[in-house]
Amino acid sequence: MSEFLAAVLAFPTIAYSVLLALAVLYWLTVIIGALDIDLFSPEVGDAGGDMATGGHHGHGFLEFLSVGRVPVTITASVFLFLGWFLCMLAELLVRAPLASVVSGPVFSLALIPASMIPAVVITGLVVRPLRHLFNLVSEHGEAGLVGRMVRISSLTVDHQFGTAVCDNAGPGILMNVFCRHGVQMKRDDMAVVVEFDASNNLYLVAPFSHVPTDVETIVTDNAGLPPVSSPAQASTPPPAVSLERRMEPPQ
């Protein structure tokens, strides 16, 4: 156990350990925000990501990591775990045999690229199959959702954090949303999508507080309309009028 703790606290493993702990804490807040401790919440059909995605669709390094096609939070979490795992293996299995040949600081510095490069390569290969899970195309996603009403699904929405579900047409779509500074919404509030940020794959939403939530509200709103005439009155035919000329008797 002491060797394990020493490996966790050694450099550069400690950096991965801290960042990985933050990633775990982040995913716990996402799960709590999405489920609200309610495992029987309404299901979501198409997923649009988990809080934030990258905005680059170019080739090369970012394309290899599927940045812009897979949420950055997933890619970063996979990378941190792999980097931490490789560092732990090196600390537990390699440092001691090389202690007589390589000094501790040199080994620690060499471990930075030795862990990062394989972690990047493996991360790119792991997240590539996830690309098709986060595609929102045509009128069912991206700019086609502007003007749609959505329901807030996270605990809160502010200018940095939030998710919402658009379920007024077909299966629900989980969206990464944010609002302007000074505006805050909570779970189950209704909002309207006012803008799509294609560079970050985020939706700007605004509160929509005057949306009827049930049929009774709609019926109440229509209570002041004049009654419709009864079918019996509407179907009463007018009296018949004869078009024949009456024959007068000869004088």
Give domain status of residue 45, yes or no.
no
pLDDT tens, 36-70? 434 333 333 343 444 344 443 444 777 788 776 78
Instruction: Determine phi and psi for 163, rounding to 5 degrees.
Output: -135, 155
The answer on 176 and 149 residing in a single domain is: yes
Largest alpha-carbon pair distance within the chain? 149
Residue range 151-166: mean pLDDT, rounded: 84
pLDDT tens, 24-36? 998 888 787 654 4
Residue range 205-220: mean pLDDT, rounded: 56
The answer on 84 and 19 residing in a single domain is: yes
Q: Which residue would you say has higher pLDDT here, 200 or 239? A: 200
Q: Using the 3D structure, point to which of 75, 98, 131 is the last residue of a domain.
A: 131
The answer on 170 and 76 residing in a single domain is: no
Token duo for residue 113: 């690229």
The answer on 150 and 110 residing in a single domain is: no
Alpha carbon 213 to chain centroid distance?
23
Give domain status of residue 202, yes or no.
yes
Least confident window among 10-19, 66-75, 161-170, 191-200:
161-170
* Residue 66: closest CA among 86, 85, 49: 49
Q: Using the 3D structure, point to which of 95, 114, 131 is the last residue of a domain.
A: 131
Look up the domain containing 118 and give its range: 2-38+54-131
pLDDT band for position 159 (cuts 50, 70, 90): confident
The answer on 31 and 123 residing in a single domain is: yes
34/190 Cα distance (integer angstroms):
16
DSSP state of 53: B
pLDDT of residue 223: 45
Least confident window among 79-88, 93-102, 231-240:
231-240
